[in-house]
């Protein structure tokens, strides 16, 4: 796995977040775009609820090490400090505002976006307000709105921990056995540790915002946008309805593609990182070639 360095940046409303860069991304940002523009569209990645950027870092591997990759620790997650205004920030629209502010800060003329779980919903929420996005990759993020949450997600008792301040020992065991099935055992322990280090208000405030209906209709946004999209769905994902995802992508045009990952669950980037990385970078490579025409 490739090494990343990181830095704390201050965004709009004095929001402070940590951003991780691989060497290729650092080189591109340091280069004067007027003199030598970047030849590869950078990939900006957003993690899921109560996770952090390290859960997506297995994506950066051979033979894609020279592709610029940037990863964000959402507020209250990973190395980013807790939000100054939890109720406003710890919501899908709140995180979407952070994403918009980060892209403005980085001044990327073009970008591809990848979101896992909550990160994908954040991307869809922000998408109507973004410019220069060549395409998006989603996994564990069924495009939906409040009205279709019950159809998009499967019932899983342990999933309630993703919206609770703490996780009971019994639920912790169920989460390891059910939600994280397929994830190597050592990495299961890491995921649970990341959960414990996440600001508990990030979960409780997110739950309250969803109950209040504070999320856009991601399905309508995707269909209306005409945005090139790759959705990677694991057939063993215990949280996401495969039937619902197939229905969504049957409504989209040919620019939106659903790839089925046989035998994989909710964390394909950890369960089968080589397969996951190949699908992602093959997609962004095609987008990059089109942009150069």
CB 40 within 8 A of CB 104: no
Cα 120 to the chain's mean position, in Å?
5
Nearest to 50 by CA among 67, 73, 30, 34: 73
Domain that holds residue 271: 5-292
As a whole number, mean pLDDT of residues 251-274 equals 95
Average pLDDT over residues 155-174: 87
Alpha carbons 191 and 223: distance in angstroms, whole number: 33
Which carries the bigger pLDDT value, residue 176 or residue 249?
A: 249
Q: Are 227 and 129 in contact (CB under 8 A)?
A: no
| Residue 168, pLDDT score | 84
Least confident of 141-150, 170-179, 228-237, 263-272: 170-179
What residues contact residue 213 under an 8 Å CB cut-off, 6+ apart? 146
Q: What share of the chain is helix, strand, coil (3-state, %, to 5)?
A: 50, 15, 35
The mean of the pLDDT values for the chain is 93
DSSP 8-state secondary structure symbol assigned to residue 16? E
Supply the pLDDT for residue 1: 65
Question: What is the CATH classification number for the domain harbouring 90?
Answer: 3.40.50.1820
The answer to whether 222 and 143 have CB atoms below 8 angstroms apart is: yes
pLDDT in tens, 41-94: 999 999 999 999 999 999 988 889 999 999 999 999 999 999 999 999 999 999
The angle, 0 to 180 degrees and rounded to 10, between the axes of the packed helices 218-225 and 242-251 is 30
- Is this model's pTM higher than 0.85 or not? yes
Tokens read off for 96: 């979407």
Give the bridge partners for 209, in sequence order.
none
Residue 35 confidence (pLDDT): 54
Measured in degrees and rounded to the nearest 5, phi and psi for residue 99 equal -60, -45
Q: Is the pLDDT of residue 248 over 90?
A: yes
Q: Is the pLDDT of residue 236 over 60?
A: yes
> Within a 10 A sphere around the Cβ of 63, how many other Cβ atoms?
9
Total domain count, the chain: 1
Is 16 in contact with 10 (CB distance < 8 Å)?
yes
Task: Give the N- to C-terminal CA distance of the chain in Å, as an integer.
Answer: 32
| pLDDT exceeds 80 at position 32 | no
**Out of 73-87, 139-153, 166-180, least confident range:** 166-180
Q: Is 181 helix (H, G, I), strand (E, B) or coil?
A: coil
Q: Are the C-beta atoms of 79 and 13 separated by less than 8 Å? A: no
- Between CA 148 and CA 150 the distance in angstroms is 5
Contact indicator for 110, 87 with CB cutoff of 8 Å: no
Q: Which residue has the higher pLDDT, 101 or 171?
A: 101
């Amino acid at each position: 796995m490739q090494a990343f360095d990181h830095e704390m940046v201050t965004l709009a409303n004095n929001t402070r977040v940590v951003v991780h860069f691989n060497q290729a991304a650092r080189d591109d940002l340091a280069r004067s775009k007027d003199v030598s523009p970047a030849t590869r569209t950078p990939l900006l990645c957003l993690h899921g609820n109560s996770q952090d950027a390290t859960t997506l870092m297995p994506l950066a591997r051979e033979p894609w090490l020279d592709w610029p990759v940037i990863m964000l620790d959402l507020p209250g997650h990973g190395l980013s400090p807790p939000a100054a205004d939890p109720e406003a920030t710890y919501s899908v629209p709140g995180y979407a505002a952070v994403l918009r502010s980060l892209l403005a800060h980085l001044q990327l003329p073009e970008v591809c976006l990848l979101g896992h779980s909550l990160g994908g919903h954040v991307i869809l929420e922000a998408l109507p307000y973004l410019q220069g996005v060549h395409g998006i990759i989603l996994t564990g993020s069924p495009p939906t709105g409040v009205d279709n949450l019950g159809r998009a997600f499967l019932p899983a008792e342990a999933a309630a921990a993703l919206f609770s301040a703490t996780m009971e020992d019994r639920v912790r065991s169920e989460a390891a056995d059910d939600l994280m099935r397929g994830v190597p055992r050592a990495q299961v322990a890491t995921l649970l540790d990341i959960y414990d280090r996440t600001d508990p208000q990030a979960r409780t405030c997110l739950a309250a915002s969803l109950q209040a209906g504070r999320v856009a209709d991601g399905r309508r946004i995707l269909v209306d946008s005409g945005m090139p999209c790759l959705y990677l769905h694991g057939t063993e994902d215990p949280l996401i309805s495969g039937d619902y995802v197939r229905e969504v992508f049957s409504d989209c045009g040919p620019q939106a593609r659903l790839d089925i990952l046989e035998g994989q669950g909710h964390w394909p980037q950890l369960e089968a990182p080589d397969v996951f990385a190949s699908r992602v970078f093959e997609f962004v490579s095609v987008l990059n070639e089109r942009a150069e025409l």
